[in-house]
Homo-oligomer: A and B are copies of this chain.
Amino acid sequence: MILEKIVSEGLAHNSYLVGADGAAAVIDPRRDCGVYVEIAERHGLAITHIFETHRNEDYCIGSLELAKQTGAAILHGAAMDFAYGTPVHDGDEFAVGSLQIRVLETPGHTDESISLVLTDTGVSPDPYLVFTGDALFAGDVGRTDFFKDRLEEMAGKLHDALWQKILPLGDGVIVCPAHGAGSVCGGGIGDLPLTTIGYEKGTNLLLHLDRETFIREKSTEHHYIPPYFAMMERYNRSGVPPLAGRQVMRPLAPAEVEGAADKGALIVDIRGPAAFAGGHVPGSLNIWSGGLSSFLGYFASYDRPIVFVDEFNLALQSAEAQALRIGFDRIAGYLGGGMGAWNKSGRPIGRCGTCAVGEVDLHAEGQFILDVRDIRNRTAAGAIPGSYHVYAGEIEGGLAAIPKDRHVLVYCDAGFKGSLAASVLLRNGYGRVTNILGGMAAWKKAGLPVEWTGA
């Protein structure tokens, strides 16, 4: 049996290829689906089935793209009306070589969510592995907050799917979820390559709750919803446009970058906080390359082109892949020659303040300390005394509360989101902005005073 997990970094999205005897199935393929074709070729497998565990909100499903290349059947839960593919129901079974894949309807995260039980019929009729989609993760379960008027209902459905469908499969069954640590689809996903039902039963605290507590917990927990989720939902329901034959990213001269910005392009600086601080294209937004999957969807729009700026252009391919995976296909290009080319052009250069935690004077006058972390981290880890909170992703909507005439000290967990927020402030005319490098992590390591804001 071939089992490969394909991780889309940034999204922390897991897709899987499983195969035997010349045939293979792909579970939750991403849009740049060459990787599945390549694995299948390497092992002499024909991809015959594509399963979608659910509609997915956080990335573009690659099923249509992959089906076109392979002729495979697309299969998804029946409880949503997709414009393509074939609905499957609880108990449906599919043969992939000697493997059998059985459908479990496991709603809760969404209505049409399914899990897929894999049995190696050559060995035994016992279930071997389950692809749980966004139902069960290592150390967490799927979020159930997408239907604001059905919060408890969805939480209850998820509870029942877990307790009635998934957990009874047996402690020894391997669990392959659709997301790993860092995904926006679950706040507490553990950093494990895979898990088992037994391990989750022992260690996943949500599985220790009774039904009522589980529902209360899940229906009140807080998650952010990036605005691009709406587009993903539409795309994934109706069919994602094809990538094939798309125009590739190209280098732009400084004058072209400037021209693109003048016509509305979003200039995204994908470098780290220090590089952005030391010199950047004025007006650019700073999302470090590893954060594009999480934050580009808060700031980019589907009808404005994107231009990337890097230092030595080593992270551009990752940046492009991350943008395409969430549907931002209008990438005008990147600054050819990197930031150095801009500098050499003699154009103005933006800067931002930085400081180490030891340099912060909590009693300085005229300053405004801004916390841009996930509110859950603020609650859980404490905050710099006197700081005000707006989440980095939502800062454009929260500017009114941030005084323009003060020295704004921004911080986050480690300094990256802080730089993102700082770049938004600079774009919006704030004059004096300083990013506290190292953020709350450094603050606590340095033993500085912490304020607890309560749950």
Contact = CB atoms under 8 A, between A and B. Distances in A.
Interface of A: 1-3, 20, 22, 37, 41, 44-47, 65, 68-71, 120, 122-124, 126, 128, 139, 170-174, 190-194, 196-203, 242, 244-251, 253, 271-280, 288-290, 311-317, 333, 336-340, 342-349, 351-352, 354-358, 414-416, 437-439, 441-447
Contacts of A20: 191
Given A123-B203, A311-B274, A192 B344 contact: no
Given A193-B2, A272-B275, A356-B349, A344 B172 contact: no
Contact of A346 (B311, B349, B442): B442
A423 to B, nearest CB: 13
A446 B346 contact: yes
This chain: how many copies in the complex? 4
Interface centre among A172, A196, A249, A314 (most CB of B within 10 A): A172
A279 B277 contact: yes
Contact of A248 (B37, B192, B203): B37
A45 B251 contact: yes
A280 B290 contact: no
A314 B270 CA distance: 13
A199 B442 contact: no
Contacts of A442: 343-347
Contacts of A172: 171-172, 196-202
A404 B312 CA distance: 32
A365 B190 CA distance: 57
A196 B193 contact: no
Contacts of A251: 22, 44-46
A192 B123 contact: yes
Nearest to A280: B274
Given A276-B278, A311-B275, A354 B344 contact: no
Given A251-B22, A277-B279, A337-B44, A438 B69 contact: no
Contacts of A351: 354
Contacts of A343: 273, 356, 414-415, 437-439, 442
Given A46-B251, A314-B314, A356-B347, A174 B194 contact: yes
B344 A445 contact: yes
11 contacts: A46-B251, A69-B246, A128-B192, A170-B198, A171-B171, A172-B199, A196-B196, A273-B278, A274-B280, A312-B315, A346-B356
Given A69-B245, A344-B441, A442-B346, A44 B313 contact: yes
Contacts of A247: 68-71
A85 B269 CA distance: 36
A1 B194 CA distance: 10
Nearest to A71: B247
A70 B245 CA distance: 9
A336 B44 contact: yes
Contact of A68 (B174, B245, B358): B245
B199 A128 contact: yes
Q: Report the 4 A-B pairs with minimum CB-CB distance, sorted nearest first.
A: A172-B198, A274-B278, A346-B445, A277-B278
A253 B445 CA distance: 14
Contact of A275 (B45, B190, B274, B415): B274
Contact of A354 (B199, B279, B338): B279
